[in-house]
Amino acid sequence: MPTSVLRLADIDSTAIESLLAHYGLSLVRVPEGEAIPGSYWGEDEAGIIGNTVYARGDTPVHSLLHEAGHLIVLPPERRVETHTDATDSIAEEDAVCYLQIVLGGTLPAVGSDRVMADMDAWGYTFRLGSAKAWFEHDAENARDWLVEHGLLTAAGEPV
């Protein structure tokens, strides 16, 4: 497990910006030391307002992907009303966790394994003990939810 989580400043954000744009979202970089708008957890965690994800250089990549995932799973008409908290259900929250892992796998210098390790380091809890164990052995419902909502292919690839 990494000693510290991967942060936005550690990677080239171009790939994340392109990924977000694919889903009709944008990334706003918040200056260091300023509060992140729309952050549910505060401090360095990403925030969401409407179609925008807010992050600083010290924002964990897994946090940015998680908050973006909340917007991605919402229909466009609900996105515009979203501010800070976007979860409707446990099923949706599980789907967002699954999606952030899949999306991390599409980013150069990130990868699904790193996202899962960072989720564990941050304190996500799964009944099988780790994000990786959950993703590989206990996340069928989350995966099915994403497939049913047209966000993953049957092969598990992001749409």
Q: What is the pLDDT of residues 118-134, one digit of tens each?
A: 999 998 888 888 999 99
Q: What does the pLDDT look like over 85-108, one tens digit per residue?
A: 887 799 999 999 999 999 999 999
Is residue 77 one of the residues assigned to a domain?
Answer: yes
DSSP one-letter string for 72-139: HHS-HHHHTT-BS-----HHHHHHHHHHHHHHHTTSTTT-HHHHHHHHHHHT---TTSSHHHHHHHT-
Is residue 43 one of the residues assigned to a domain?
Answer: yes
Domain extent for 43: 8-148
Is residue 156 one of the residues assigned to a domain?
Answer: no
Three-state secondary-structure class, residue 60: strand
Structural domain count, the chain: 1
Is residue 3 one of the residues assigned to a domain?
Answer: no
How many helices (H) and strands (E) are present in the chain, helices listed first? 7, 3
DSSP 7: B
Is residue 2 one of the residues assigned to a domain?
Answer: no
Is residue 153 one of the residues assigned to a domain?
Answer: no
Residue tagged 């590989």 (tokens) = 136
